[in-house]
């Protein structure tokens, strides 16, 4: 179970998209996992053949637990095919029989968690009950339907206990995920904040001329050249691009730009647009369109959730002039862009009406200093004077 963002502790396997014996390639989507931030497609990071699916659909497992076993290319099956066949047979989905130990040969993963009957697991999911809160009737025994019913009844009478089924209310879960990540950020990361006004008239003029040449479906949004410049400027200040892990900063050579995208009905996610510094504006636009659509209706992929190296929050849409972002751990910086406004602006000794954008940087003082941050914003401003070079 991969970690799909700060403070994710567990995920529920929704479905497998592969079966034992299937060949898989690095980057292929193999499963769907339900998290606090909705359903995420899980990609695999090795080539090989699926040997065994360890975790059944509907099971909630902690981060780090084995989901499936994979054979490397050319590696023989762990056991003789004849013996392997019954071992890979999936546990029946709807088991009406009384609870019993699920497998004669439990995997290390299965042994590490409480034993739960499939019927109990299904009931717990329906009731929105966390199985970790359920105790089996016998110490060390299997959690049965009756145990789940008892725990659910106890929850109802507990004063102040949430009445709504948690599984149904993803908004509450999403709020909880954001709360956990942001509280951790404000607790652990000593932020410093910088802001600067950038004249983006060159970009908006170039974009208007460019969009005039383009059909409706090929047009670029103003945020797209800004994304490119935000990503490119990081090459000059690598101390802002990467993650804080195990008490040290790990810089990233690649720029995976997390785009803060609001969800309909509340909440937000910041999935990565990979290698944003190396993509053309057309590709960035296509990627942004794709990821926005999937945030709002489809599914995000595990790599998008887990590997942004910096976040961009663009609140100009709502008329906000200046946003000072909260860093999304384990990242070490977040860039904020406000609304592009027309302002009276000195140009070569006279006053002109120019289009101005307030760009901000919130960064982790454990990793960088205001001087680095200042260099970054200066580089961003410089790159935005030459929109042709951003293409």
Q: Note the residues at the interface with another protein (CB under 8 A).
A: 208, 211-212, 215-217, 219, 221-223, 262, 264-265, 288-289, 292, 317
In the bound complex, what is the minimum distance in angstroms from residue 220's beta carbon to another protein?
9
> CA 227 to CA 284: how far, in whole Å?
8
> CA 34 to CA 11: how far, in whole Å?
6
Strands 23-24 and 268-269: unpaired
Give the residue with the Cβ less far from another protein, 167 or 221.
Answer: 221
In the bound complex, what is the minimum distance in angstroms from residue 292's beta carbon to another protein?
5
In the bound complex, what is the minimum distance in angstroms from residue 207's beta carbon to another protein?
9
Give the residue with the Cβ less far from another protein, 254 or 263.
Answer: 263
Count other Cβ atoms within 10 Å, centred on residue 254.
15
Give the residue with the Cβ less far from another protein, 146 or 262.
Answer: 262
Give the residue with the Cβ less far from another protein, 44 or 224.
Answer: 224
Burial 72-88 (b: 16+ CB within 10 A, else e): eeeeebeeeeeeeeeeb
Give the residue with the Cβ less far from another protein, 145 or 339.
Answer: 339
Is 297 buried (19+), middle (13-18) or exposed (0-12) by CB count in 10 A? exposed
> CA 123 to CA 31: how far, in whole Å?
22
Count other Cβ atoms within 10 Å, centred on residue 241.
24
In the bound complex, what is the minimum distance in angstroms from residue 261's beta carbon to another protein?
9
In the bound complex, what is the minimum distance in angstroms from residue 293's beta carbon to another protein?
9
In the bound complex, what is the minimum distance in angstroms from residue 138's beta carbon to another protein?
48
Give the residue with the Cβ less far from another protein, 89 or 217.
Answer: 217
Give the residue with the Cβ less far from another protein, 10 or 340.
Answer: 340
Q: How many helices (H) and strands (E) does the chain have?
A: 10, 19
Phi, then psi, of 5 in degrees rounded to 5: 135, 160
**CB-based contact 14:39 (threshold 8 Å):** yes
> CA 40 to CA 54: how far, in whole Å?
19
Give the residue with the Cβ less far from another protein, 151 or 340.
Answer: 340
In the bound complex, what is the minimum distance in angstroms from residue 288's beta carbon to another protein?
7
In the bound complex, what is the minimum distance in angstroms from residue 376's beta carbon to another protein?
25
In the bound complex, what is the minimum distance in angstroms from residue 274's beta carbon to another protein?
19
Residue 99 region, left (φ>0) first, then alpha (ψ -120 to 50), else beta?
Answer: beta
360: closest CA among 317, 313, 328?
A: 313
Residue 285: CA count within 13 A, CB half-sphere: 15
Is 299 buried (19+), middle (13-18) or exposed (0-12) by CB count in 10 A? middle
Give the residue with the Cβ less far from another protein, 14 or 268.
Answer: 268
163: closest CA among 178, 174, 152, 179?
A: 152
| DSSP bridge pairs for 363 | 192, 333
Give the residue with the Cβ less far from another protein, 157 or 217.
Answer: 217
Cα angle 62, 68, 69 (rounded to 5 degrees) comes to 130
In the bound complex, what is the minimum distance in angstroms from residue 285's beta carbon to another protein?
10
Q: Is the peptide bond before 330 cis (omega within 30 degrees of 0)?
A: yes
């Amino acid at each position: 179970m991969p970690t799909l963002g700060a403070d994710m502790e567990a995920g529920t396997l929704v479905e497998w998209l592969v079966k034992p014996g299937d060949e898989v390639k690095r980057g292929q989507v193999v499963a769907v996992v339900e998290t606090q931030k909705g359903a995420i497609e899980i990609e695999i990071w090795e080539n090989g053949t699926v040997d065994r699916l360890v975790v059944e659909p509907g099971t909630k497992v902690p981060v780090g637990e084995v989901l499936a076993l994979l054979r490397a290319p050319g590696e023989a099956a762990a056991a003789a095919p004849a013996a392997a066949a019954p071992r890979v047979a999936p546990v029946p989905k709807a088991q009406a029989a009384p609870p019993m130990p699920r497998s004669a040969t439990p995997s290390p993963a299965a042994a590490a968690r409480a034993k739960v009957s499939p019927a109990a697991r299904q009931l717990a999911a329906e009731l929105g009950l966390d199985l970790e809160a359920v105790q089996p009737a016998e110490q060390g025994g299997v959690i049965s339907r009756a145990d789940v019913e008892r725990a659910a009844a106890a929850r109802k009478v507990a004063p102040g206990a949430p009445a709504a089924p948690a599984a149904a209310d993803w908004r509450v879960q999403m709020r909880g995920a954001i709360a956990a990540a942001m509280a951790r950020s404000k607790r652990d990361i000593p932020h410093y904040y910088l802001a600067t006004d950038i004249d983006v008239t060159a970009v908006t003029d170039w974009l208007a001329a460019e969009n005039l040449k383009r059909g409706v479906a090929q047009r670029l949004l103003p945020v797209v050249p800004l994304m490119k410049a935000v990503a490119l400027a990081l090459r000059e200040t690598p101390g802002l691009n990467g993650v804080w892990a195990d008490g040290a900063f790990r810089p990233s050579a690649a720029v995976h730009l997390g785009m803060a995208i609001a969800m309909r009905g509340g909440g937000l996610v910041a999935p990565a647009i990979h290698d944003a510094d190396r993509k053309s504006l057309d590709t960035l636009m296509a990627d942004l369109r794709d990821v926005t659509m999937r945030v709002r209706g489809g599914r995000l992929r595990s790599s998008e959730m887990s590997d942004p190296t910096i976040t961009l929050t663009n609140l100009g849409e709502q008329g906000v002039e200046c946003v000072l972002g909260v860093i999304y751990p384990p990242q070490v910086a977040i860039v904020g862009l406000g609304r592009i406004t027309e302002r009276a602006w000195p140009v070569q000794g006279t006053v002109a009406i120019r289009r101005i954008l307030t760009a901000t940087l919130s960064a982790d003082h454990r990793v960088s200093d205001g001087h680095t941050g200042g260099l970054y914003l200066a580089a961003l401003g410089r790159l935005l004077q030459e929109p042709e070079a951003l293409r």
